[in-house]
Amino acid sequence: MTLSVNPNAPKDAAAVILLRRDTNPKNPEVFWVKRGDKLAFLGGFHAFPGGQLDTSDSEVVVKNSSDSQTAAMISGAARELFEELGVLAARGAERLTKGQRASLFDDLESGRMSWPSLLDHYGLQLDAGDFTFAGRWVTPPFSARRFDTWFFLVTCPAKQEPRVVPGELAAGEWIAAQDAYDRWLGAHVVAVPPTLHALKTLAGGISPDLVDRFLAPPQAHGDPVRKIEFRPHYICFPVRTPTKPPATHTNSYLIYNSKEILVMDPGSPYADEQDALAACVDELIGEGREVREIVLTHLHPDHVGGVKALIAHLGGAVAVAAHKETAQGLSDIEVNRLIHDEDTIKLEGDPHISLQALHTPGHARGHLCFHDEQTGVLITGDNIGSVLIDPPQGNMSDYLNSLQRMRALPNLSVLFGGHGPAMANPYNKIDEYIAHRHEREAHILQAVHSGAATPKEIVAHVYTDVSPKVHPMAERAVLAHLEKLVADGLVVRNDHEQYLTA
Ligand SMILES: [Zn+2]
């Protein structure tokens, strides 16, 4: 018998909402950070310091802690706070000089001493009284990386100042909670629901019921978040779909203002998921809005599987809009309005939201991205993600041209992809995808040079690290690269469907 481990299971993590000492209780200041662009998880997001638990975190004895799990979480939170901001929230730290704290930091970072032995050695003691539990949020299952994160409110210890330690974080600052929340409202930052909830709650002031307000929503107790507003007016609503692994969900988007709602890619064929999305749409309608239309980025089943159910739910009175190639490729969904390259969709109402459609083929012939020039949002459909280029719908030359076209857009600030969390490091991400394709192409060309002549032979050569189960899919991707190499004149195809050096 083998134990099955769910690779998508959330990992324990802890984060610290650091409050400024002697801050104005009516509008307290908090230390927030901007995560580095290169981080695989939430790169470029505004957040609080924190991270995954270390195994040694549970070896720390935490005074006044009710149980061992809470103690481990507090220990992890304190360690992350020290590693990322140099703030040591331990009793006894007030006896240390700045220089001693610095050498302690070096001991930890260099691995000379573990966190538990270091606290021990310097006579430091963590006390649960310094860490106020402020909720436990679980990353929704649409993300490949998931965390079960405990948040703690901590007042910055006297005579210590947070500073961003170069590495994982790009920046950090003290900011009044209301100002931080306003930065999000003004579309200047990208953040996840627990961060936004914390800022909004703190903006309400430090009152006796502060912790109750933190813990009020069920999501603060680990209930999955369904509706994710990384940016105001753009709801990301992941729905479970029979999509390609490792993805398990497709993102539907609800773009709304005071009067109208656009529904993009209602992709789930499952009734429970369709109901959940419909309930979210109904809520927006209940506040006085109308659904303007359903928009499709492309024709793949995991992006259109819930279209008919949503139309039926809305009483049939809603149009579907898509590119001509998508309309022609869909057999059982009627597209009522065609969207052409550079067409603009303007929402009636407040604020003014204007989306320009970009015909970006490659993953699918009729693929569309949508660009909100004013706030730098780019809805990328499946052009960014675990993208399969499968001919004849897929075309590698087109795909690379589409990526270049996306890369050339000015002032991008966030990418909303078809699967997984938003990306707040748009240029970095697009560059990553372009580089990945070039690297793959170079390997395939090398394989052809060394005599591999069919997609099957090339896969055996190039995809040495993937399970044979996915080889058929990989062969489709290799074929797409070969077609591009033929078009580029670097490879020729002979009459026996073999690919040879040109
Ligand atoms: Zn797709």
Q: How far is the CA of 464 from the centre of ligand 1 (A)?
A: 25
Q: Give strand pairing partners of 63.
A: 127
pLDDT at 3: 42
Interatomic CA distance for residues 156 and 447, integer angstroms? 57
Q: How far is the CA of 382 from the centre of ligand 1 (A)?
A: 5
Q: How far is the CA of 433 from the centre of ligand 1 (A)?
A: 16
Q: How far is the CA of 300 from the centre of ligand 1 (A)?
A: 5
Helix (H) or strand (E) holding 135: strand 132-138
Q: How far is the CA of 366 from the centre of ligand 1 (A)?
A: 11
With the C-alpha atoms ordered 260, 324, 357, 181, is the resulting torsion angle positive or negative?
Answer: positive
Q: How far is the CA of 322 from the centre of ligand 1 (A)?
A: 14
Q: How far is the CA of 47 from the centre of ligand 1 (A)?
A: 30
**Nearest Cα to Cα of residue 360 among 409, 420, 429:** 409
Q: How far is the CA of 384 from the centre of ligand 1 (A)?
A: 10
pLDDT at 4: 43
- For β-strands 290-295 and 260-264, DSSP reports them as parallel
Strands (E), 162-242: 169-176, 228-231, 234-240
Q: How far is the CA of 303 from the centre of ligand 1 (A)?
A: 7
Q: How far is the CA of 485 from the centre of ligand 1 (A)?
A: 23
pLDDT at 122: 93
pLDDT at 7: 62
Q: How far is the CA of 419 from the centre of ligand 1 (A)?
A: 10
Question: Per-residue pLDDT for the chain (502 aa), expressed as one digit of tens each?
Answer: 334 456 678 999 999 999 999 999 999 999 999 999 999 899 999 999 999 999 999 999 999 998 999 999 999 999 999 999 999 999 999 999 989 999 999 999 999 999 999 999 999 999 999 999 999 999 999 998 999 999 999 999 999 999 998 888 999 999 999 999 999 999 999 999 999 999 999 999 999 999 999 999 999 999 989 999 999 999 999 999 998 877 899 999 999 999 999 999 999 999 999 999 999 999 999 999 999 999 999 999 999 999 999 999 999 989 999 999 999 999 999 999 999 999 999 999 999 999 999 999 999 999 999 999 999 999 999 999 778 899 988 999 999 999 999 999 999 999 999 999 999 999 999 999 999 999 999 999 999 999 999 999 999 988 888 888 889 989 999 999 999 999 999 999 999 989 999 8
Q: How far is the CA of 175 from the centre of ligand 1 (A)?
A: 40
Helix (H) or strand (E) holding 311: helix 307-313
Q: How far is the CA of 154 from the centre of ligand 1 (A)?
A: 44
